[in-house]
Amino acid sequence: MDTNITYCLRYLNKYHSGAAQHRYFLLCSLLETVGDQISYIGMHIGKKRSLAQDIVKGVEDYINYLFSGDFRGMYLAMKSFKKKLGKKSYVDGLAYSLAETLYNDIGFVMEIKG
C-alpha cells in the first residue's frame, strides 16, 4: 500500500497544484488508513466469516458509491454498515472503527467531488 501512496503523491506533485493537490492527497491518505485498518482486522478476525463478509460489502459499497457520485447512497450504506456490526469483541471494535473512518470522511469526499 505504501508504494501505491508514494506513486500517487509523486503523480499529484507533478501534475496537480493548489487546493486540488491537497485534497487528493487527503483522499489517498484516507484510503491508506482504511487499508491499514483492514490489514489489522485481518490479523485478529480469526474465523468470523460473517464479519469479514460484512466488512467486504461495506467497503465495496463505499467505493461503488464514491465512483458513482451518489453521496446519499454512500451515507445510507455506511449508516447501515455501522448498525450491522457487533460491539462485543475486540475485532468488532476494530471493524466499527473502520466503519466510523469511512462514515466520518463522507463530507470530505463530497468536497473533493463537488
User: How far apart, in whole angstroms, are the C-alpha atoms of residue 64 and residue 67?
Assistant: 5
Average pLDDT, stretch 12-28? 73
CA neighbours closer than 13 Å in the CB half-sphere of residue 55? 24
Q: What is the model's pLDDT at position 113? A: 59
Q: What is the dihedral of CA 40, 82, 33, 93, to 10 degrees?
A: -30
User: How confident is the model over 37-95, as pLDDT tens digits?
Assistant: 999 999 999 899 999 999 999 999 998 998 888 889 999 999 999 999 988 899 999 99
